[in-house]
Amino acid sequence: MSQAAPQHLLVVDDEPDLRTLYELTLVREGFDVESAGSVEEAWAALQRRRFAVVITDMRLPDGTGLDLLRRMDEQGRSEKGIVITAYGSAENAVEALKAGAYDYLTKPVDLRQFRSVVATALGRAPAPVGEPRALPAGERETPARAARGADAAAAGAAARGSAVAAMRRLVGDSAAMQQVRSLIEKVARSMAPVLVQGESGTGKELVARAIHEVSPRAAQAFVAVNCGAIPEALLEAEFFGYRKGAFTGAAEDREGFFQAAHGGTLFLDEIGELPLSMQSKLLRVIQERAVRPLGSTAELAVNVRIVSATHKDLTAEVAASRFRQDLYYRLNVIRIAVPPLRERLEDLPLICAALIERVAADAGVDPPPELSAAAFAQLRRYGFAGNVRELENLLHRALALSAGARIECEDLGLSEAAPEEPDTPAAAGPAQEPAAGPADRTRAAATSPGAMLSLPTDLAAYLDQVEREILERALERHRYNRTAAGASLGLSLRQMRYRMARLGVGGHDSPPEPRGDET
C-alpha cells in the first residue's frame, strides 16, 4: 500500500528551544516540518512553498504573529494559522481569532493539546480525551487501521452532504438570511467561538448545527445543551461529568457535556441563563481547555468548539452584573444575528412551503395541502411573536383541522389568537374592577402615551410577572390542561412545565430533565 505524502507545516518562533520542541513533536506525528524565527523568515518560506498549517508565536523580533496572518490573508493564502499567545491573555486570543487564526494555544503549551489542535486543523479525527492521537513515526499501516481510514473517508463524504442539507434548512432568500449563510461559511473554517443572537423561535439551533456541519468537525459530535433547563445544583456534574462515589447516587463514572463533545461542537443554548458561579467555571474550562470531573483530582484535556446562543442582550446583562464581562468577550468573538420573522416577510412563502411539506410528511399526508391566498394574506398580517416556531405550530394545527387540499383562514384560527377575558358571574352591588396586573398595564401602554413614562424598576421581575399572568390565564381558559394551554401559546408541554416551575405557577411541577434540542 502506497503511503500518502506527509503534510507540510511551518513553525514560527524566535526561541530555538521551543521551536525544536514543536518540530520534534510534529515530526513524530509524521509531518514534514519547516521552521522560521521571524515574520520575514516565515514569509520567505511561504513564498517557496505551500503549507497546510502555519503555527506562529504571537511576539516575534520583527512583528507579531498577527502581522503574518494579515499578510497571508491579503495574499489569499490557504494555510490555516494557529497562534501561540502568552498565558492567560484573553485579549490576544480574541484578537488572533478575529484576525483569521484557525485556533490559538496559550503558554506554556500542553503538547497533547498542541497535537490535538493541529490534527483538528488538518481535518483529522482528534485523539481520545487526554491521549495523543497519532501513531509513532514509521509504524506500518495495518488492515484494521486501513478500514478505519476508509470509515473516516465515508464519514467525511457524509459530512459534506450534511453540510449542504444544513444550509438548505436555513430557508429564505432575503438579504438578512443570505448574510447569515455567508457568515456561517466564513466562521466554520476556524475555531473562533460564535455567539448566535436572536429572539425565541428564530432558528438559533439551526444556525449552530449549520456551523458544525459546514466545519471540519462535521464528522464528530454535536452536543446541544439548554442552559436554562438544568437545575443549578446539577450544572457542574452535567457539564464536566463525575467519578463513581463523588456524591450520593454516583454509582458509576459519567461523562459530561464537554467530554461528549470532544473533537466536535458544544452548543450552549440560552447561555444568558447560567448563574454567575457556573460562568466562572465555564470561563476556566474555555481558557484551559481541560475539565476536572467531580470526584477526580486530574484534569482531562478537551478539544471542543463553543457555539452559544441567547435571546437576551448580553451587553445589558454585563452592565447589570448578571453576566461576566470576561466570559462575554470569550464567547462573543464572532456574532451572528438571526433576524426575526417579521423583518423578513419576503421569505414567508418559502418558509410556509417548507414547513407544510415537512409537517405533511410527518403526518403521512400526500400530497401536502396548499395555503389559500386569503390564508397567506392573513399570515402576512400576523405579528409572529414566536417567529418560525410559532408559524410551524400554526401550520401544524391548520393541517390537522383542514378538510381538503387547501388551508383556509378558519383553519389557521388566528382570529382566536388574542384570548378573551373569561366570563365572570354577575355580582350584587356595584361591579368591582379587577386589579390591573403588569399584562394589563402593558396593553394599556399601547393606548395611553403617558403610561410609557412609568418604567419598571426591575425589568426582569416585571417581565416574569407578565409571563406568569399570561400562563395563568391560558391555564384557566383551557381548564388547567397544560398541553392545550401550552399549544395555545406556541409552547410544547415540556416548555410549559418548565415555565410553570420557574415562575411558580401551579406550585407542584418541577423543571424537566435537561434536553439539548430545545430552543
User: What are residue 116's phi and psi, to 5 degrees?
Assistant: -65, -45
- Looking at every residue in the chain, the average pLDDT score rounds to 80
Q: List the one residue out of 69, 58, 70, 63 whose CA is nearest residue 106.
A: 58
Which homologous superfamily is 165-337 in? P-loop containing nucleotide triphosphate hydrolases (3.40.50.300)
pLDDT score for 426 = 39
Tens-digit pLDDT profile for residues 67-119: 999 899 888 888 999 999 875 566 677 777 777 788 888 888 888 888 888 88
User: Which amino acid, residue 138?
Assistant: G
Tens-digit pLDDT profile for residues 189-212: 788 899 999 999 999 999 999 999
Domain with CATH 1.10.8.60 in the chain: 341-416
pLDDT score for 314 = 93
pLDDT of residue 238 exceeding 70 = yes
pLDDT score for 258 = 95
Q: What is the CATH number of domain 341-416?
A: 1.10.8.60
Categorize the per-residue pLDDT at 431 as very low, low, confident or very high, splitting at 50, 70 and 90: very low
pLDDT score for 415 = 53
Categorize the per-residue pLDDT at 475 as very low, low, confident or very high, splitting at 50, 70 and 90: confident
Instruction: Count helices and strands (H / E) in the chain.
Output: 21, 16
Instruction: Provide the grid cell at 453.
Output: 413614562
pLDDT of residue 383 exceeding 90 = no
pLDDT of residue 149 exceeding 80 = no
pLDDT score for 402 = 81
pLDDT of residue 37 exceeding 90 = yes
User: What are residue 35's phi and psi, to 5 degrees?
Assistant: -130, 160
pLDDT of residue 137 exceeding 60 = no
pLDDT of residue 469 exceeding 90 = no
Domain with CATH 3.40.50.2300 in the chain: 8-141
Categorize the per-residue pLDDT at 418 as very low, low, confident or very high, splitting at 50, 70 and 90: very low
* 149-177 average pLDDT score: 66
pLDDT score for 56 = 94
Q: What is the CATH number of domain 8-141?
A: 3.40.50.2300
pLDDT score for 94 = 73
CATH architecture of 439-503: Orthogonal Bundle (1.10)
Contact by Cβ (8 Å): 158, 219 = yes
* 147-165 average pLDDT score: 51
Tens-digit pLDDT profile for residues 44-69: 999 999 999 999 999 999 999 999 99
* 357-370 average pLDDT score: 86
- How many Cβ atoms from other residues are within 10 Å of residue 213's Cβ? 24
pLDDT score for 414 = 79
Domain with CATH 1.10.10 in the chain: 439-503
